[in-house]
Amino acid sequence: MGMGASVVGAGFAVISLLAVGCDDRGKTFEPSADQEPGPSVGNEVPSDIPPVPPVDTSTPTTPTPDADAGTTPDAGEPDVGEPETGPWPVDAVLDYTRSFGVGTPQSVGLDEGLNLWLLDGNRIGVLRPGDTAPAWTTGIGQARQAFGRDSLAVGSTVICGGEAGRAYVGYRAAEMRRAEGISQRTYIPGPGEANYTPERYAEYQKGDLDAVRLQPDGTIALEEHIWRTTGASNAGKQIGIHNTNDFHYEEDRSVLNCARVTRGPHRGDLYITTNHGVTRIQGLTYNSHRHPGWYLITTNPDGSRDESLQCPPMYGLGIAPNGDVLVANEQMLGVLIPSGKLEEWDREYTWTGPTPWRFKSFNEALNDQATDDFWRAFEQTTSERYYLGSAEYGVWAMTPKSRSAGNWSKLAGLPTGRILALKATDDGALYIGTNGAGLWRLEPDGVTLAQVREVSGQRVLQLVYEPTVTPSMLLVLTDQGLTVLRGP
């Protein structure tokens, strides 16, 4: 299902799905009903599809760096004997754009080997520990064609690190057009099915997510366009990311955000948010998707009623200190408790089941359910208080008063309400990335605010936190480049 709905006729009613779950075809499920899906049989590859060749994941030995580049461990699998400080400089504030020539990328990420990954349009860069400048590779994966509506992607979006030597690159695809004979815009028949066409089936290949690998010579190669999933209907179909429970629904076409789990029992898992929901990835296998959706009920002039599932684009994504997954689309937010099994991620039973919602609601203190709040970031600090950042309405603090309602208060003292990024750090603080007023820090008391003037740039594009090294690393990407803070 796509986002939004035109309101036709005399009126509409809002029904928030706070006590029921929904699948992606507008069907309502009662949590008490028997909804257990059939067993997930994995994504077995038919014998006529060649196996994916093994990828050399080793990392070349790098030359001894100068004093400004820090120490030089092997950038492959993490070495338990390496210093706690990690391989990068421990300066409290260091401009990586000036020190390492990383330029002004649109997105950055660290993998488990602490390689620094960079995304800039159709270019992917990597700065290995010990390197003095990044190595760039152009035009691989979904970027091998010129970006455009009829191409593999409209553009690139985000990059996140994975296991040592691997990164994930997200892309955006154009909205699908409704096809003749097909009532839903996102439905794509397969070969041999009614209304099948090769052109429409090719839509599966657009957008989505690439896994790329660092090669021994320091270059970057496509490992795989992500397609392996846990659902039986998807078995063997190399058609990108789509609904795990039924491959016909191509709803996750554009990757909008990503986050790697850096600690706890699910360390190494990757979450991506899309134009429709949140998808969980382990290695090269995904399960898609979950979303805090609700139904818009429209009343037509003849008295009939239409229902439309509302699942707007999802930008807000965070990992709570206890491992909960925090998600926020334009209208709603939710806190999911992940289980230990990837195949259980998309099983929707609302408050029960293997992957329940801990909290799901909207900010009634700001807008009604049908009005966009433009959430761009969602974090939880060590005080267990939740914070959401809006592209238009500032930063809001929230503490749940039930599983479907919260106590909301707007954070005072910021010079702008335009927020693009938030990041909670282990010292109890919250870093706030604004669109036009630079980087700010909210102290653990939840009241004291100060601008972080050492970071250049007025538009903060991304905040990435790496707590596995001491001092911890906070990557701050702005319109002026990348700065790293050590020790938050």
Going from the C-alpha of 275 to that of each of 153, 181, 290, 439, the distances in angstroms are 14, 24, 12, 27
- Nearest Cα residue to 205 out of 231, 241, 247, 160: 241
CA angle (238 as vertex; 116, 38 as ends), nearest 5:
105
Residue 193: CB atoms within 10 A of its CB come to: 10
> What is the topology classification, in CATH, of domain 11-486?
Methylamine Dehydrogenase; Chain H (2.130.10)
- Segment 234-278, tens digit of pLDDT: 998 999 999 999 999 999 999 999 999 999 999 999 999 999 999
Alpha-carbon distance of 22 to 166, in angstroms, equals 34
Per-residue pLDDT band for 384 (boundaries 50, 70, 90) equals: very high
Q: Name the residue with higher pLDDT: 26 or 126.
A: 126
Task: Tell me the mean pLDDT in the region 33-54.
Answer: 32
Lowest-confidence region among 74-88, 217-231, 249-263, 399-413: 74-88
Tokens of 390: 């809006």
Judge whether residue 56 has pLDDT over 60. no
Tokens 């990024």: give the residue. Answer: 421
Residue 180's pLDDT is what?
85
- Segment 93-126, tens digit of pLDDT: 999 999 999 999 999 999 999 999 999 999 999 9
Judge whether residue 14 has pLDDT over 70. no
Tokens 């520990």: give the residue. Answer: 129
Residue 48's pLDDT is what?
32
Over pLDDT 70: what percentage of the chain?
A: 83
- Segment 417-443, tens digit of pLDDT: 999 999 999 999 999 999 999 999 999
Task: Give residue 285's identity as a one-letter amino acid code.
Answer: T
> Greatest CA separation found in the chain?
77
Residue 309's pLDDT is what?
80
Residue 302 neighbours by CB under 8 Å, 6+ apart: none
The residues spanned by each domain of the chain are 11-486
Alpha-carbon distance of 162 to 285, in angstroms, equals 13
DSSP 8-state assignment for residue 259: E
Lowest-confidence region among 179-193, 250-264, 422-436, 451-465: 179-193
Residue 149's Cβ-count burial label (10 Å; 0-12, 13-18, 19+) is exposed
Judge whether residue 69 has pLDDT over 90. no
- Segment 325-379, tens digit of pLDDT: 999 999 999 999 999 999 999 999 999 999 999 999 999 999 999 999 999 999 9
Residue 379's pLDDT is what?
98
Task: Tell me the mean pLDDT in the region 185-201.
Answer: 95
Confirm whether pTM is higher than 0.75. yes
Residue 70's pLDDT is what?
35
Task: Tell me the mean pLDDT in the region 14-37.
Answer: 32
Per-residue pLDDT band for 471 (boundaries 50, 70, 90) equals: very high
